[in-house]
Chain A
Amino acid sequence: MKAKKENSDVKIKKEKSAKDAWVLRLYVAGQTPRALAAFTNLKKICEEQLNGKYSIEVIDLMENPQLANEFQIVALPTLIRKLPVPVRKIIGDLSDTERVLLGLDLKEVN
């Protein structure tokens, strides 16, 4: 069920991702080791997969707590894929690359 849905998403994404740049937003709370790890992991994946066509915005909720509401952030760190639509939400320190790719629709489920 879930896999099927993601498959259809992937098709849409592939058409759009060709022209549109990826807009990613990483929510963290302070410079915790976990936040730093997440950022490093994200950077690595983007470099490998997106050929420079991306932007990463890091939001520190310690400084701007009111920004947590917009994307219903509960867990930290959370990565939001704002573009291409639909919005995807990935939580955790992004250490599980396989799952990150899955979450970003960069990899099809076998």
Chain B
Amino acid sequence: MKKAEKILADHKLVKTPTGIQGFDEITDGGLPAGRPTLVCGGAGCGKTLFGMEFLVRGATQFNEPGVFMSFEETIDELIKNVSSLGFDLEELVRNKKMVLEHVHVERSEIEETGEYDLEALFIRLGYAIDSTGAKRVVLDTIESLFAGLPNQLILRAELRRLFRWLKEKGVTAIITGERGNETLTRQGLEEYVSDCVIMLDHRVTEQNSTRRLRVVKYRGSIHGTNEYPFLINEDGFSILPVTSLGLNHTVSNERISSGIPALDKMLEGKGFYRGSTVLISGTAGVGKTSIAAHFAVAACKRGERVLYFCFEESPNQLKRNMRSIGIDLEPWVQKGLLQFQATRPTFYGLEMHLAVTHQAVNDFKPKVVILDPINTFVVGDKEFEVKTMLMRIVDFLKMNQITALFTSLTASGSAPEHSDTSISSLIDTWLLLRDIELNGERNRGMYVLKSRGMANSNQIREFVLTNHGVELREVYIGSSGVLTGSARIAHEALENAEVLTRKQDIERKKREIERKRKTLEAKIISLYADFDSEEAEALKMIQTEQDTIKRHEQDKVEMAESRNPETEIKQTNYKRNFKNPIL
């Protein structure tokens, strides 16, 4: 195993980075260095541009001069055509970074008289390479020679020699070829150039055209085998190697507010995780966009950039509508924190949308991305493709720690979860908005269907759009189901009245008790008074009685004394017995 790795390391194919966005990622480093690569595809799929960007990037980024040998366009045409992409070929030529060579063979001007070879082509190419020290060569499109030169046998032999010669020269070459009916190229160039074959494609499905790139073959190297969508815009090529992304993104424990305090409360009081994917689904007009707008504003207030893709409304309409519920998005747009990207879903194919999303995210570098709504992509039976695309978007955003919020419209009548099942597994936090029809009213309810990694509330909240934004209210669950809207308000009033009555009852009872207590106390006091007077009287009587007894005893003692002293003990006992009951 180790030995194999060592061999691999020693003989690893050297690659030439193209500098084309995304391409080097797919091919694990670029084109095979010092070898020719065939780029084939139909008309208008970007072959020339691919070659040209390879040279321009080489000259400007990797300091590798290049030779562009055009068999079709003249030098002036080339310069003009690529200037729209910001490539200044004239300057590169002036600085000896690039040689543009136009080879033109007109069959009607040529008379064939015996044996010949294409040595002059070699000499011209060799001279161009040597004069600038070029490391990169593009031959676009060498197949034109087949139209100009009648003798195919000679031509094929010479082409074989040319490609071998290019290898000997050690230049990394791109040979473009028009796609044939059965073969990759019309003249079977793939027979000669077999190290690396790249196919460009420009396909139209359901009126949407998408450019795609595929690495058909890459000898001695691993490469992505899928078809990758690509864009040609003012920055040149942009290829999206999105499916190569793995599930190894870092996760954040940071929580960010949804912009609606009551909603945060439903999510442990903290809101969403940063970098998570939030889906808001619901039927028409339940306020999905309003929640999205709240979230956008909350992010902007934190100083984070927000990229808002609206697929159904124009930014101006959205701004106006949001103003009606008291959310002003305009200041954030002006501050440069909020950017809108408005396109019709049908404007491009899915891959193109993906590419555009990618591009916009890379350019703007937002912290929050909102896609409103996503289900408009589903046209016909493309659910699987849509899922794949969304998965790519989700993966891409997660890789970049971008919090994504999608809205999705569910058809009323179907189960609210249904149409989103295809993407539900991609979603971390799923808020479901639904309308609740009751008592001739249609009200909005919201609940958290799922929220990964947090203890979310299981409550349904009534969702009210006020002129100062979204509010969530508790709903009542009674015997007739969930109460919302005026039913809820009526119920609230009823309950308030009940509370009031109960309060009054308690007050009254309290007062009654108090009164009773007072009566009792008064009674006690009067009883005490009665008692006191009775007691006083009794005491007085007792005193009198005692006095009388005392006097009697005194009298007795005196009388006894006057007779004999033996009676003294009897007298004391009597005294004690009499006193005790009183004290």
Contact = CB atoms under 8 A, between A and B. Distances in A.
Interface residues on B, range: 20 to 34
B111 A89 contact: yes
Interface in A69-100: 69, 72-78, 87-96, 99-100
A61 B111 contact: no
A90 B110 CA distance: 5
Contact of B113 (A69, A87, A95): A95
Given A65-B127, A74-B103, A29 B113 contact: no
B116 interface: yes
A93 to B, nearest CB: 4
A81 to B, nearest CB: 10
Interface string B146-169: 001100000000000000000000
A12 to B, nearest CB: 16
A91 B110 contact: yes
B119 interface: yes
Interface in B83-114: 101, 103-105, 108-114
Contacts of A69: 101, 124
A62 B103 CA distance: 18
B262 interface: no
A110 interface: no
A66 interface: yes
Contact of B119 (A29, A87, A89, A94): A29
B123 interface: yes
A24 B410 CA distance: 80
A76 B111 contact: no
Nearest to A87: B109
Interface string B541-557: 00000000000000000
B159 to A, nearest CB: 12
B111 A78 contact: no
Interface of B is mostly: mixed
Centre residue among B104, B121, B145 by max chain A CB count within 10 A: B121
A98 to B, nearest CB: 9
A93 B120 contact: no
A108 B115 CA distance: 23
Nearest to B149: A75
Contacts of A73: 120, 124
Nearest to A99: B113
B111 A68 contact: no
A102 B114 CA distance: 13
Contact of A72 (B105, B114, B115, B116): B105
B117 A76 contact: yes
A95 B115 contact: yes
Contact of A100 (B113, B118, B121, B145): B113
A65 B113 contact: no
B120 A90 contact: no
A93 B113 contact: yes
Given A69-B124, A74-B121, A103 B115 contact: no
B158 to A, nearest CB: 9
Contact of B111 (A74, A77, A87, A91): A91
Centre residue among A29, A62, A73 by max chain B CB count within 10 A: A73
A85 B113 CA distance: 20
Contact of A65 (B118, B123, B148): B123
B120 A78 contact: yes
Given A74-B118, A75-B118, A76-B118, A89 B103 contact: no
A2 interface: yes
A92 B118 CA distance: 10
Nearest to A97: B113
Centre residue among B101, B104, B114, B145 by max chain A CB count within 10 A: B114
Contact of B114 (A62, A74, A92): A92
B261 interface: no
Nearest to B103: A74
A61 B128 CA distance: 13
A93 B113 CA distance: 6
B127 A94 contact: no
A37 B108 CA distance: 25
B111 A102 contact: yes
A34 interface: yes
Given A88-B111, A95-B114, A96-B113, A74 B127 contact: no
A99 B111 contact: yes
B422 to A, nearest CB: 57
A94 to B, nearest CB: 5
Centre residue among B110, B119, B124, B149 by max chain A CB count within 10 A: B119
Interface of A: 2, 5, 27, 29, 34, 38, 41, 61-62, 65-66, 68-69, 72-78, 87-96, 99-100, 102-103
27 contacts: A34-B117, A61-B123, A62-B123, A65-B123, A66-B127, A68-B124, A69-B124, A72-B104, A73-B120, A74-B120, A74-B121, A74-B149, A75-B120, A75-B149, A76-B116, A76-B118, A76-B120, A78-B116, A90-B110, A90-B111, A91-B110, A92-B115, A93-B115, A93-B116, A94-B114, A95-B115, A103-B113
